[in-house]
A and B are shown apart, each in its own frame.
Chain A
Amino acid sequence: MTALLEVEDLKVAYGKIEAVKGISFSVEAGQIVTLIGTNGAGKTTTLRTLSGLLKPSGGRIVFDGKPLQGVGAHKIVAMGLAHSPEGRRIFPRLTIAENLKLGAFLRKDAAGIDSDIKRAYELFPILGERSKQAAGTLSGGEQQMLAMGRALMSRPKLLMLDEPSMGLSPIMMQKIMATIAELKSQGTTILLVEQNAQAALSLADQGHVMEVGKVVLSGTGQDLLVDESVRKAYLGED
């Protein structure tokens, strides 16, 4: 069986500076795969390239059997790849309901959209309570929920989450991580970028450690959790 997403020798450059220097990994349907690493390792750049916001300077991306390089960002969503970006990036002056509807922008099935909005409200009850409120008035954690809910509205085959725990309180972070686990149990395939390596690896089937644009270590989430170099570098142990 071929993987849902296959990334082969992907390179991305900002001008002359290469931020991603030839990485390869794959994501199988139903898995959670995580990319961990410090700031500037190229994790966000990788996701932004997969969703078409950046153009790769080399390598191959195959998603669901189709090549992705050179495809416009707005068409990639239609192929089933959703991206909840770093910093949440909700539309602050639109309401929560309008934000969710924009997540389903390409869908035409009004009834399905309505039932998915209801599902998002079940997953995150606070969004339902505040559905008519401008999204900019939500707290950071609530905005993260909205960003995830919005990404799910396209019914993606693969959901990419960039730093969902960034800037959140420990309690809110646990909630978000629990939601990710729940999404997986419902069969959602997830590519997760996280600075919180402990939390990410505990959830992940596969993990890849990135350093300055390269994958330096790969393994199952459990393997990496107990790997000595990972523990030293990312889990704050010495």
Chain B
Amino acid sequence: MNDLPQQLANGLLLGALYGLIAIGYTMVYGIVQLINFAHGEIFMIGGFGALTAFLWLPSGTSLLIALPLMILMAMACSVLVAVGAERFAYRPLRDAPRLAPLITAIGLSIALQQAIWAFYPDATKSRPFPEFEGGRLDFGAFAISRGDLFLLIAAPLCMITLGVFVSKTRTGRAMQATSQDPDTAKLMGINTDRIIVTAFAIGAAFAAIAAVAHGLKYGEVNFKMGFIAGLKAFTAAVLGGIGNIYGAMIGGLVLGLAEAMATAYIENIPGMSQLGGGAWKDVWAFVLLILVLLLRPQGLLGARVSDRA
């Protein structure tokens, strides 16, 4: 097990990525009780936004200089799609039975995937995403790729900013109030429509940052990347307790670690030698989801599901 530090690093980085995307699921669920299944595609569109920005710049532009523009463009694309989805797809269904917006979300997810496949140049196959040059950064016990450095800085920064925003600012408190009791929030003078849009926008912005991190980490973007990443992030959100932003962060990290550990070590368990390795990592992630749903359906930090129903 002398590669344990490396596996922990891999797991935490993966988990940070899941956590960033999971914020979007959990914030929207916390406020409108909708599982926004199109969130994975909002993440994917952020990746294509970033790529587009990079391609606009003259070739040879340093990635470090291009990065801020790529992030801004990713955020603009993701937020625009998320806010548009809220306004035109979900808001008209706000008082409809819960199944209606859920089906709409799944439909939207497929439509967005296919729109990129059909209209983005050469998106029928994976498009290469710019990567930092140079080898892995060696920290002795473990090494990370240069692209991961972005994730290492961005993820904690985003999470801390969000935590402060939600607990300390006026809009953040209005957001908590709306999530706890939307009608009464209106009686306080809170424009809950605007709060809902804000929740969608923040979730999308985080997904966009995750998409840039994902691109730098894996060196490509493709129209399908939102599906599995979205499913994993949804798992992370449920794992941590959906509706709880700290739960999304914790759930992401736990899921990332579990995947890394299972991938690396399960094959060492007698009788399970065929179940290790990368091919099985999604299986272990969803096994974990099933176990949590069976044993602790409110999630690791959540008490919300029960007091909402």
Contacts and interface: CB of A to CB of B under 8 A. Distances in A.
B180 A154 contact: no
Contact of A89 (B170, B173, B181): B181
A74 B190 contact: yes
B145 interface: no
B189 A53 contact: no
B114 interface: no
Contact of B188 (A72, A75, A103): A103
Contacts of A195: none
Interface residues of B, number: 18
Interface string B158-201: 00000000000010011011001101111111111000000000
Contacts of B189: 74-75, 77-78, 105-106, 154
Contacts of A83: 187
A102 interface: yes
* Dominant secondary structure at the B interface: helix
A9 interface: no
A93 B183 contact: no
Contact of B186 (A73, A91, A101): A73
Tell me which of B176, B187, B188, B190 has the highest count of chain A C-beta atoms within 10 A of its own C-beta: B187
Contact of B187 (A53, A94, A101): A53
A182 B95 CA distance: 40
Contacts of B307: 92
B177 A94 contact: yes
B176 A74 contact: no
A213 interface: no
B171 to A, nearest CB: 10
Contacts of B188: 74, 77, 102-103, 105-106, 150, 154
B184 A105 contact: no
A191 to B, nearest CB: 14
Contacts of B190: 74, 102, 105
A82 B192 CA distance: 17
B61 to A, nearest CB: 45
- Which of B189, B191, B192 has the largest count of A CB atoms less than 10 A from its CB? B189
A77 B187 CA distance: 6
A28 interface: no
A151 B184 CA distance: 11
A133 B103 CA distance: 40
Contact of A102 (B174, B183, B191, B192): B174
Interface string B102-138: 0000000000000000000000000000000000000
A154 B188 CA distance: 8
Nearest to A51: B187
A53 B183 contact: yes
A121 B181 CA distance: 24
Contacts of A89: 181, 183-184
A91 B180 contact: yes
Interface in A140-178: 150-151, 154
A221 interface: no
Contact of B173 (A51, A73, A92, A102): A102
Nearest to B303: A93
Contacts of B181: 89, 91
Contacts of B170: 105
Contacts of A103: 188
A165 to B, nearest CB: 19
Nearest to A103: B188
A98 B192 contact: no
Given A91-B177, A94-B177, A102-B185, 9 more contacts: A78-B189, A83-B187, A89-B183, A91-B180, A101-B173, A102-B173, A102-B188, A105-B174, A106-B189
Task: Please name the 10 residue pairs, one residue from A and one from B, whose CB atoms are nearest each other, closest first.
Answer: A73-B186, A77-B189, A106-B189, A89-B184, A105-B188, A105-B189, A91-B180, A102-B188, A74-B191, A74-B189
25 contacts: A51-B187, A52-B186, A53-B187, A72-B191, A73-B183, A73-B187, A74-B189, A74-B190, A75-B189, A77-B187, A89-B181, A89-B183, A89-B184, A91-B176, A91-B180, A91-B181, A92-B307, A93-B180, A94-B177, A98-B173, A102-B173, A102-B185, A105-B174, A106-B188, A154-B188
Interface of A: 51-53, 72-75, 77-78, 82-83, 85, 89, 91-94, 98, 101-103, 105-106, 150-151, 154
Interface of B: 170, 173-174, 176-177, 180-181, 183-192, 307
